[in-house]
Amino acid sequence: MGAAVFFGLAGIAFGPALALVLLTVAAEPLRVIVLVAGAFFWLVSLLLASLVWFISVHLSDREDAKLQYGLLIFGAAVSVLLQEAFRFAYFKLLKKADEGLALISEDGRSPISLRQMAYVSGLSFGIISGVFSVINILVDSIGPGVVGIHGDSPYYFITSAFLTMALVLLHTFWGVIFFDACEKRRYWCLGLVVATHLLTSGLTFLNPWYEASLVPIFLITLCMGLWAFVTAGGSFHNILKCLSCKQEDDSRVMMYSALQVPLED
């Protein structure tokens, strides 16, 4: 362990997130605000879930390991449901903000679209969720130590990093799908998002049997990615157009600078 492990893990876990933030979010102030506010909403949901778990633990028998494990599962499930509930609450808030922005803008359109806000909010949930899951592990990896010396898996760090990366991407995709489903009132999509979140969280209970947990989670990530891409309006045609770097025809009227004052005779 050491700096190499730390940087490697941090890169695996947060590389995509960092790239996405730097390329798409950092330049626009409104998106940054949506990002931070999304993190706040996720934190509040975590707080409530921890409260529920804490109370349940204190009301129960501490010595019973099985019961504690059961309560942990219960706490995780409550947390997932609360996260989705707060995602819905954030959707409502952003919808209102969108309407407000559109109202006060010159041309009746808000400077940020609901789709962009969906993406940024999903990203924010993902980043804060990933950070809270893995930051202590990352910091511990800088120091000395041997992983799994007591019989646990020696791949703890790297699987944690990959799981975090999957989680960040999953939250981003869920954000896009969720907001779109709320917009179009497709409640089966909502249910599916919640179900996949519960499934993903449940799959991590199979750790350290990593073949059974990591591989399905990455498959789910891929599927969610495709679904989100299609939901956001992407298609094969779009990809081809993007890859061929064709420029759109400029349909604007000739720019005024091309007009010239007629020369004086």
Partner 1 sequence: MITFMNNSDSEEESCNERTSLMSAESPPVPSYQDGLQASEAGEAQAHRKRRTGGSCNPTNMADGEAPGRGVPVRASTSESEEEELTLKYGAKHVIMLFVPVTLCMVVVVATIKSVRFYTEKNGQLIYTPFSEDTPSVGQRLLNSVLNTIIMISVIVVMTVFLVLLYKYRCYKFIHGWLILSSLMLLFLFTYIYLGEVLKTYNVAMDYPTLFLVIWNFGAVGMICIHWKGPLQLQQAYLIMISALMALVFIKYLPEWSAWVILGAISIYDLMAVLCPKGPLRMLVETAQERNEPIFPALIYSSAMIWTVGMAKPDTAPRGPSQQTWDAAEDGRENHRSPSHAASQMSETSPAPTHPITSLEELEEEERGVKLGLGDFIFYSVLVGKAAATASGDWNTTLACFVAILIGLCLTLLLLAVFKKALPALPISITFGLVFYFSTDNLVRPFMDTLASHQLYI
Per CB under 8 A, residues contacting partner 1 are: 29-30, 32-33, 36-37, 39-40, 43, 46-47, 49-51, 53-54, 69, 72, 75-76, 79-80, 83, 101, 104-106, 111, 128-129, 131-133, 135-137, 139, 156, 159-160, 163-164, 167, 200-201, 204-205, 207-208, 256-257
For partner 1, the closer CB: 137 or 189: 137
Of 45, 75, 56, 40, the C-alpha closest to 201 is 75
Cα end-to-end span (Å), the chain: 81
Nearest distance from C-beta of residue 111 to partner 1, angstroms: 7
Sole residue written with tokens 């993007």? 242
Nearest distance from C-beta of residue 237 to partner 1, angstroms: 33
Which of the 8 DSSP states describes residue 264? P
Nearest distance from C-beta of residue 109 to partner 1, angstroms: 11
Rounded Cα distance, 120 and 172, in Å: 8
Nearest distance from C-beta of residue 2 to partner 1, angstroms: 17
Which residues, 6+ apart, have CB-to-CB distance to 161 below 8 Å? 8, 9, 10, 12, 13, 134
Residue 17: CB atoms within 10 Å: 22
For partner 1, the closer CB: 116 or 164: 164
Rounded Cα distance, 118 and 139, in Å: 31
